[in-house]
Amino acid sequence: MLQEWKKEENDFVALYFYTPLCGTCKVGERMLEVVQVALPEVKIYKVNINLHVEWAHEWKIESVPCLVVVKGGKVVEKRYAMQSVGHLYELLKEKLG
C-alpha cells in the first residue's frame, strides 16, 4: 500500500494526489502499487486532497489523479494521465536518474 506523505521529505519522491471517491484515482493507485514493487527505491506517497486542500493549492493541482515527481525539492514532472504501469515505471525510472 502506498504511504501518506510527510511534507518534510526533500529527496526524490512521487506524490500521488487523489480523492477517495475517484474511480480513475483507484486505478492509478493500483498501477503505482505495481510500480512501487518494481522500483522500491522510489518513494511514492498518497495525498488525499479532500484532507489537504492547501497542498492542492500549493502544488497547483488542477484535477485528480495527479502524479507530481519531486527531486531535490523541485517539481520535475506533473502528470494527470496514468497511461499504463509500463509508462509510469519508465517515467519514474528516468526521473530517478
> pLDDT, tens digit, for every residue of 36-83?
999 999 999 999 999 999 989 989 999 999 999 998 878 999 999 999
Could you tell me the CATH number of the domain that includes residue 68? 3.40.30.10
Question: With contact defined as beta carbons under 8 Å apart, do 64 and 17 qualify?
Answer: yes
Q: Helix 85-96 crosses helix 23-38 at what angle (to 10 degrees)?
A: 50
pLDDT at 1: 42
Taking the CA atoms of the chain, what radius of gyration do you get in angstroms? 12
Closest CA to 46 of 15, 79, 80, 9: 15
Name residues whose C-beta falls within 8 Å of residue 95's C-beta, 6 or more positions apart in sequence.
12, 69, 71, 76, 77
Looking at the 3D structure of the chain, how many domains does it have?
1
Expressed as residue numbers, the domain containing 44 is 3-96
Across 92-96, average pLDDT: 93
Chain CA centroid to CA 65, Å: 8
Question: Is 10 a residue whose pLDDT tops 90?
Answer: no
pLDDT at 76: 93
Predicted structure pTM score: 0.88
pLDDT at 97: 82
Omega before residue 20 within 30° of 0, cis: no
